[in-house]
Amino acid sequence: MEQELAQRKLPAWRRLFARPETGVLARAGDAWWAETFIQLAGMTSNPNTRRRGLAESNPWLAWWCVQEGRKVEPDTVRIIQERSELLVDSNRADNRRSAVQALLKVSRARVIDPLAKLAIDTDASVAGPARQALEELADTGRKAVARVFETRLLR
C-alpha cells in the first residue's frame, strides 16, 4: 500500500517511465508524446535498441529520434527503412502517411518503388508528399510511378 501511495505521488511522466514494460512504446503512436521521445533519444545510452523498438510502432518517429538523438548503427537505419516500407501497403491512411514521412528521410534512390506506390494513393495527404519527392527525381521518379500504375491496372 505504501509503495502504491508513493507511486501515485510521482508526476504522470515519471509513472509512465517507472514501468516501461507497460507503456512507453505503446505511446509512440500518440503525437502528443513525440517530443518526449525526441528528448529521450538524446539522453539514452543505448540508441540502437531504443530506435529499433520504436520503429516497430512508429518508424517516422524512430527516424526523427535518429536525427535528433545519438548516432546509431547503419543496421538500425535499415530496420527503420524496412519497417516504413511494410507500412506502404497498410489499409490505414495514417500508417501510409507515417511511411511517406520516414521514407522521405532515407536516400531517395533506395526508396523509389515504395514512394511510387504511395504516389498513387487515394489519400491526398499520403500521395502529395510522395509525388513531390518523386518529381525531384525527374524522369526516374516518373518512370517508377508509371510502372506502379501499370501494375495496378493489370491486376
Longest dimension (CA), the chain: 67
The answer to whether residue 22 sits within a structural domain is no
The answer to whether residue 25 sits within a structural domain is no
Q: What's the start-to-end Cα distance of the chain, in Å?
A: 62
Q: Is the same domain home to 39 and 69?
A: yes
Q: Supply φ then ψ for residue 113, to 5 degrees.
A: -65, -50
User: pLDDT digit string (tens) for 64-95?
Assistant: 788 777 888 999 888 888 887 788 888 989 88
Q: Is the same domain home to 110 and 154?
A: yes
User: pLDDT digit string (tens) for 17-42?
Assistant: 555 445 677 777 777 777 888 788 77
Q: Which domain holds residue 128?
A: 106-155
Q: Is the same domain home to 83 and 113?
A: no
Rounded CA separation 50/149 (Å): 37
The answer to whether residue 10 sits within a structural domain is no
The answer to whether residue 47 sits within a structural domain is yes
The answer to whether residue 17 sits within a structural domain is no
CA distances to 41, 77, 137, 146 from 107, in Å: 22, 11, 11, 21
Q: Is 13 helix (H, G, I), strand (E, B) or coil?
A: helix
The answer to whether residue 100 sits within a structural domain is no
Rounded CA separation 105/1 (Å): 48
Q: Is the same domain home to 116 and 81?
A: no
Other Cβ atoms closer than 10 A to 40: 17
Q: Is the same domain home to 40 and 69?
A: yes
The answer to whether residue 21 sits within a structural domain is no
Q: Is the same domain home to 83 and 111?
A: no
Q: Is the same domain home to 83 and 117?
A: no
Residue 122 has what pLDDT? Answer: 93
Domain count for the chain, please give it: 2
The answer to whether residue 146 sits within a structural domain is yes
Residue 113 has what pLDDT? Answer: 83
* pTM higher than 0.75: no
